[in-house]
Amino acid sequence: MTIHAKNFIAGEWVESKDHTQDLNPSNTKDVVGEYPRASAVDAERAIAAAKAAFPAWSRSSIQERHDILKRIGDEILARKDELGKMLSREEGKTLVEGVGETVRAAQIFLFFSGEVLRLAGEKIPSTRPGVDVEITREPLGVIGIITPWNFPIAIPAWKIAPALAYGNCVVFKPADLVPGTAHALSEIIAKAGMPAGVFNLVMGRGSVVGEAMLKSKDITAISFTGSVATGRKIAATCVESSPMKKVQLEMGGKNPLVVLDDADLKTAVEASVNGAFFSTGQRCTASSRLIVTKGIHDKFVDALAERMKTLVIDDALKAGTHIGPVVDQSQLDQNLSYLKIGQDEGAKLKAGGELLNRNTPGFYMAPALFTGVNNKMRVAREEIFGPVATVIAAKDYEEALSIANDTDFGLSSGICTTSLKHASHFKRNSEAGMVMVNLPTAGVDYHVPFGGRKGSSYGPREQGRYAQEMYTVVKTAYTLP
């Protein structure tokens, strides 16, 4: 039976006038369901409901919020296989990755169910005799949450959980390509026991629902993850709007993984395969620039190309698949166009890049490896967001570090080395928000801050206790008793 879904506004499931079909990228004949394409009026109703719910919710007890977040986390965990399957079916990452991401979402809700109970302020002496100073954190109001398609449950979770934990109300707009997971998550949140209006789901286009959220005077803050172009526009609108909106942006990456002569070859190859190609390379933290020093370069390239031959690219739901399809035709076209751009620029397509036929019609391509790349080429500077890695040769560690930092992005970076000296120097001098040693640039924990520098991130960090910086505002109160 095909799903016919509704939006969740003011505590009710509301029919939408317009809908869109959610397709399985592993098999485009498989329609996951019909999902709402909400109007600006739907978005405005959701915002009004959230605004009305805010005074009571912002004063709700921390016990109530703890219990609700725990119920959500527990139910996600109990249904991880079903939710993970929905995620893989509509996004195209493998079932192992889909279930893993679902477990991550549960862990995030459970983490913030604990964080609610740890909310604390400070009471400190004043410089003026007899005066008390208190510093407290308060919720902001209505948070607009706008998410991308590549992590359909983890990214919504890491925004919605802290927003609710700290007493804010939420209007959630997921990406158009992955409405099924967003809807399933919202069903779980909707029945967790929150008053009507605290959480709202409005599915639809960025240019309609997203724009309505940006225009609204009643949205206090926007937390966005997506592309640089959209993020830049959102930040400008948030600053121009009256009153100004607080804004948090998580955007693209062109993450360097440095491989030094003294690296363990197997570790470097596995980190590269995982970082560059798993999740079909559709990760903001993907290891898309492999910067390799000359002593290990040829050995590393050959070993990586050999390892790529062992990767199984097939239906995301099939057991044994390592890499699922690309998410849709337009992303596939983008990947293929970069393969041409790279070759036109003089890079060598050392392995992969072919379109693949499988038993079902889907967007299958073999992961691609470019060699002979220099850091000025477009394939080394622009985010491709597909299973395409570039190898850039460097003379030594110093040159590798300089190439790693020569980018408009700064989300994550990595180094494969057995030298403590180089690992320590890289951790200190890499211009990225997250630095990995002997690990892929992708793959992070949920209890520590996530975010980058330069064109990758703007505003406070996400995740862990650092999420407070986004979802609360600090108040300083002075009392003369």
Select 284 or 401, whichever has its Cβ closest to ligand NAD.
284
Contact indicator for 407, 381 with CB cutoff of 8 Å: yes
User: d(Cα 324, Cα 280) in Å, to the nearest integer?
Assistant: 6
Select 300 or 385, whichever has its Cβ closest to ligand NAD.
385
* CB count in 10 Å sphere of residue 187: 15
Query: x/- binding map, residues 187-216, to ligand NAD, per CB under 6 A?
Result: -------------------xx--xx--x--
Query: x/- binding map, residues 280-319, to ligand NAD, per CB under 6 A?
Result: ----x-----------------------------------
Identity of the amino acid at 358: R
**385 near ligand NAD (CB under 6 A):** yes
> How many CA atoms lie within 13 Å of 335's alpha carbon, on the beta-carbon side?
29
Range in contact with ligand NAD (rule: CB under 6 A) among 110-118, 133-141, 219-227, 338-346: 219-227
3-state SS record for 20-49: EEEEECCEEEEEEEEEEECCHHHHHHHHHH
Range in contact with ligand NAD (rule: CB under 6 A) among 105-113, 159-167, 223-231, 254-262: 223-231
Nearest C-alpha neighbor of 365 from the set 431, 412, 314: 314
Tokens of 55: 């005074």
Contact indicator for 143, 219 with CB cutoff of 8 Å: yes
Is 250 catalytic? The answer is yes
Nearest C-alpha neighbor of 379 from the set 323, 433, 336, 410: 336
Measured between alpha carbons, how far is residue 392 from residues 17, 176, 342 in Å?
Answer: 51, 35, 13
Select 84 or 210, whichever has its Cβ closest to ligand NAD.
210
Q: How near is the Cβ of 469 to ligand NAD at its closest, in Å? A: 16
**253 near ligand NAD (CB under 6 A):** yes
Select 234 or 394, whichever has its Cβ closest to ligand NAD.
234
Select 66 or 465, whichever has its Cβ closest to ligand NAD.
465
Query: x/- binding map, residues 427-466, to ligand NAD, per CB under 6 A?
Result: -----------------------------x----------
Contact indicator for 386, 280 with CB cutoff of 8 Å: yes
Select 167 or 256, whichever has its Cβ closest to ligand NAD.
256
Nearest C-alpha neighbor of 335 from the set 412, 277, 391: 277
Number of continuous H segments (helices) and E segments (strands) in the chain: 15, 21
* CB count in 10 Å sphere of residue 10: 16
Q: Provide CB contacts within 8 A for 67, sequence distance 6+.
A: 113, 193
Range in contact with ligand NAD (rule: CB under 6 A) among 250-258, 290-298, 396-404, 435-443: 250-258
Range in contact with ligand NAD (rule: CB under 6 A) among 61-69, 170-178, 391-399, 417-425: 170-178
Tokens of 280: 């079909």
Q: How near is the Cβ of 117 to ligand NAD at its closest, in Å? A: 27
Q: Which residues pair with 313 in a beta bridge?
A: 323
From the candidates 75, 101, 250, 462, give the one annotated as an active-site residue.
Answer: 250
From the candidates 284, 383, 416, 469, give the one annotated as an active-site residue.
Answer: 284
Residues that bind ligand NAD (CB under 6 A): 146-151, 173, 175-176, 206-207, 210-211, 214, 225-227, 230, 233-234, 250-253, 284, 383, 385, 411, 456
Catalogue the active-site residues.
250, 284
